[in-house]
Amino acid sequence: MTPVTPLHAGPTRVREQPALDTEKRRQWLVPAGILAAVAILVFALTASLNPPIGLTGIILVCAFYGAMLVCAMTVDSVKTRNLAFAWLMGAMSISTTLLMLFVVMTEQLS
């Protein structure tokens, strides 16, 4: 009879992905920079429709990417740094999506 492996073991867990173990900061900073550039461009274009939302989006995206840069320079632990990168990039994409949906909703209602 073989022992049953616990459910929390295995390489398919989200916390066991190769991107979280690599030492290359570029693997996170380049895609996040592209996402930030596209988001800033879109928010700059929508600033004429709704300036407060556009400026809020630009500030949020810059803050999240700036936090990623600070994290890249200050955090020594690879696993901790990459988890922070993942959370910051996720927060950047979710906040961008929500703000863009808010712009679309306000334009549809007006």
User: Which residues 6+ apart lie within 8 Å of 62 measured at CB?
Assistant: 36, 40
pLDDT tier for residue 67 given thresholds of 50, 70 and 90: very high
Domain boundary assignment for the chain: 25-109
Residue 98 CA to residue 106 CA, distance in Å, equals 12
pTM (2 d.p.): 0.81
CB contact at 8 A, 62 and 41: no
- Which pLDDT score is estimated for 92? 97
The two structure tokens encoding residue 98? 């929500």
Torsion of CA 58, 63, 64, 70, to 10 degrees: 150
- Render pLDDT for 11-61 as a digit per residue (tens, 0 to 9): 666 666 666 667 788 898 999 999 999 999 999 999 888 899 999 999 999
Residue 84 CA to residue 18 CA, distance in Å, equals 15
- Render pLDDT for 82-107 as a digit per residue (tens, 0 to 9): 999 999 999 999 999 999 999 999 98
Residue 7 CA to residue 21 CA, distance in Å, equals 21
